[in-house]
Amino acid sequence: MSADFIEKQLIKKAKNGDENSFESLILSCQGRAFNIALRYLRNEEDALDALQESFIKIYRNLNTFKEDSKFDTWVYRIVVNTCNDMIRKNNRRKNTDSIYRNDGEKETVLEIPDVSDAPEEVYDKKEKQDHILSCLEKLNPGQKEIIILRDIQGFTYEEISEILECSIGTVKSKINRSRLKLRETLLEQN
């Protein structure tokens, strides 16, 4: 049996109220969904809140899933929209403060250091990563979103097109413009 066939059967069972099937579907995309939320919100607690809220929305709206895209693509679209909603809500509450400010607490970016590197190399990599993330925060939300989906999460143009509900041509154009803006921001900061 193909993975698509199994997914369709799980979706059918979940739509009919089978909680185990729904759980199987969610578990298959939970890790990547969390990483998307974490990259958007840059805080583990907020990312977990967004994920929980997204899964509730998915459960409540499962019957509206038309199955014209992959289930995980639909899930990622909901996670992205939930994160954007949370960012908007937080921006309304804090008119002058950035929600990405680091209040002296530890950085929430997940990182897996390469143990074969010397400490100086690890430090340099971390410094470069922090610099890139700092510049990413200076992009507008649409530019940041497209960079996260393509360059950080590695989604294909087709998947991004489905997640953002726009054409592949628009996706390619947005990626190109966003990368140029990020490059400009990186060069300005050096």
For position 2, what pLDDT does the model report? 84
Query: Using 50, 70 and 90 to split pLDDT, how confident is the model at 111?
Result: very low
Domain edge (last residue) among 88, 104, 120: 104
d(CA 167, CA 89): 28
Q: Can you give the pLDDT at residue 105?
A: 54
> Same domain, yes or no, for 26 and 116?
no
- Distance separating alpha carbons of residues 88 and 100, to the nearest angstrom: 13
Same-domain check for residues 78 and 120: no
To the nearest whole number, what is the mean pLDDT of the chain? 83
How many Cβ atoms are within 10 Å of 122's Cβ, its own excluded?
Answer: 15
116-123 CB contacts, 8 Å cutoff, 24+ apart: none
The answer to whether 78 touches 59, Cβ cutoff 8 Å, is no
Q: CA-based Rg of the chain, rounded to a whole angstrom? A: 18
Residues 54-81: tens digit of each pLDDT:
999 999 999 999 888 889 999 999 999 9
**Higher-scoring residue by pLDDT: 116, 77:** 77
Q: In this structure, are 99 and 134 located in the same domain?
A: no
What whole-number distance in Å separates Cα of residue 119 and Cα of residue 8?
A: 48
> Which of 56, 77, 104 is the last residue before a domain boundary?
104
Residue 99: per-residue pLDDT: 41
CATH number, domain containing residue 166: 1.10.10.10
Q: Which pTM value belongs to this model?
A: 0.63
- If asked whether residues 181 and 129 sit together in one domain, one would say yes
Q: d(Cα 162, Cα 178) in Å, to the nearest integer? A: 19
Domain that holds residue 132: 111-190
In a shared domain, residues 77 and 52: yes
**Last residue of a domain, which of 78, 104, 130?**
104
Indicate if 66 and 126 belong to the same structural domain. Answer: no
pLDDT at res. 152: 86
Helix axes 119-137, 168-189, angle to 10 degrees: 120
